[in-house]
Structure 1
Amino acid sequence: MTKLSVNINKIATLRNSRGGNNPDVTKAAVDIQQFGADGITVHPRPDERHIRYSDVYAIKKIITTEFNIEGNCSEQKFVDLVLAAKPDQVTLVPDALGQITSDHGWNTIEHRDYLTKMIRIFKNAHIRVSIFVDPVVEMVEGAAATGTDRVELYTEGYARGYANSDKEKAIAPYIAAAEKARKLGLGINAGHDLDLHNLAYFSQHIPWLDEVSIGHALISDALYVGLQNAVQLYKRQLNQ
């Protein structure tokens, strides 16, 4: 069954907008896993505009489900954080400094040597590695050559196509990329703009999907239905 990892960055954004510790990000992580989530994802950025590095250590101390840290390994501070916190998984994302949100995957062919070196560092610390890739078969093949454990398919293109009533065309490259990853022995994650409208269709067409990471949409839905209900609704979409 596909696991749901909830990205709690937006909870930290709300806290930081006012100062203090309301909402409590660490408590939110505990509550979300009690509500049924299979994991917690954080994406600390160098400016700490949402998740702070101190949050990562605090969450690691109390987390009982899987812990996934996303970020750009070109920042030594990020590398040091991951090696110190030792999450279950690190997801390498090619974000530029100051980027608002992730908007593309790695060129695994052009950056193969670099990714191979960085992946070895994390795997030597017994941390599972996933790398963010676009739904392109060649990029998946390039990822396999780096030694990564998994790929995370960047799903904004799928979400946009689904919203435009072209879901068959939107899902096609993801099926092809996922099938290639499966043949190459890679685990498959997915994330970005997945929501209650498009998640079930995506997971039904890639039933061997290991994990989805969802933050913005789930936290937005929680404003209307509550956090516990939101987690359960997303779990139901994965179970259809």
Structure 2
Amino acid sequence: MTKLSVNINKIATLRNARGGNNPDVLRVAKDCERFGAQGITVHPRPDERHIRRSDVYDLAQNIETEFNIEGYPTEDFIRMVCEVCPTQVTLVPDTPTQLTSNAGWDTVINGDFLREVVAQFHQHDIRVSLFIDPVIIMADAAKAVGADRIEMYTEPYAAQYAIQREEAVAPYVRCAAHCAELGLGVNAGHDLSLENLAYFSQCIPHLAEVSIGHALICDALYLGLETTIARYRQCLKEKG
């Protein structure tokens, strides 16, 4: 079954807006687990505008499900991840000032760099996922550099879903099927929501994990966190 990892960056953004520790990021993470989330995701950035380095260390000591740290592999990021040893690190090609991820790695051009980084994390028994667009050649290169999984960037799917969902999901279906042949695990994330998640999950039988933050936290404002997580979990169970 596809696992749901909740990205709690938005909780940290709200906390940082007023200072102090309200809402409590660690408490929310533990509540997410208690309500059925099978993983917690964070994406610390150099300016600490949401998740702070201290959050990463606190969460690592207290998370009981899978812990997934996303980020661009600077020396500081690599050092932190190797000290924390999460279940998974997801490498993204973001610049330090970027608002949010908006493209996947070119795993061909960046192959030598990524191979080195992946090897460092494997020395610490950390599963490595590379954030890519659903392009077969990028999946091939991700496998070649030693990645364990890829995370397919799903914003284009979400943007086109209401217009033509079959066409929107088609490249993801092809890429995921190819990854299964390669023995490469498949994750997905970015703009997945209660509106489009169930169909995506139905079409991708080899989907290991989805990482969802913004839409899920927005839904929780209206539905409550427990109900929201239950609804996202239900979307992942609806296999048609």
TM, length-normalised to structure 2: 0.98
Residue 172 (structure 1) aligned to one of 170, 173, 180? 170
* Ranges in structure 1 where 5+ consecutive residues have no aligned partner: none
Aligned length, in residue pairs: 238
Superposed, 1:6-25 pairs within 5 Å as: 6-25=6-25
**Residue 197 (structure 1) aligned with residue 195 (structure 2):** yes
Q: Distance in 1 between matches of 2:137 and 2:78?
A: 27
Superposed, 1:123-142 pairs within 5 Å as: 123-142=122-141
Task: Tell me which residue corresponds to 2:147.
Answer: 148
Secondary structure of the corresponding residue to residue 221 of structure 1: helix
Superposed, 1:61-210 pairs within 5 Å as: 61-73=61-73, 75-163=74-162, 165-210=163-208
How far apart are 1:76 and its partner, in Å? 1.1
How far apart are 1:190 and its partner, in Å? 0.2
Q: Give CA deviations for 1:162-194 in whole Å, capped at 9, x if unaligned.
A: 03x210110000011111111110000000000
Secondary structure of the corresponding residue to residue 210 of structure 1: strand
TM, length-normalised to structure 1: 0.98
**Residue 212 (structure 1) aligned with residue 205 (structure 2):** no
How far apart are 1:135 and its partner, in Å? 0.7
How far apart are 1:37 and its partner, in Å? 0.3
How far apart are 1:49 and its partner, in Å? 0.2
Amino acid at match of 1:206: I
Task: Tell me which residue corresponds to 1:235.
Answer: 233
Q: Distance in 2 between matches of 1:144 and 1:87?
A: 21
Q: Distance in 1 between matches of 2:179 and 2:206?
A: 11
Task: Tell me which residue corresponds to 1:35.
Answer: 35
**Would you say the 8 A contact 2:177–2:206 is kept in 1?**
no
Q: Distance in 1 between matches of 2:156 and 2:176?
A: 15
Sequence identity percentage? 59
How far apart are 1:197 and its partner, in Å? 0.4
Q: Distance in 1 between matches of 2:61 and 2:140?
A: 36
* Ranges in structure 2 where 5+ consecutive residues have no aligned partner: none
Q: Distance in 1 between matches of 2:113 and 2:178?
A: 22
Q: Give CA deviations for 1:188-239 in whole Å, capped at 9, x if unaligned.
A: 0000000000000000000110000000000000000001111111000001
Q: Distance in 1 between matches of 2:219 and 2:59?
A: 23
Secondary structure of the corresponding residue to residue 161 of structure 2: helix
CA RMSD of aligned residues (A): 0.5
Task: Tell me which residue corresponds to 1:53.
Answer: 53
Amino acid at match of 1:98: T
Q: Distance in 1 between matches of 2:140 and 2:104?
A: 13
Task: Tell me which residue corresponds to 1:225.
Answer: 223
Q: Distance in 2 between matches of 1:192 and 1:26?
A: 23
Q: Distance in 1 between matches of 2:234 and 2:96?
A: 36
Secondary structure of the corresponding residue to residue 5 of structure 2: strand
Amino acid at match of 2:94: D
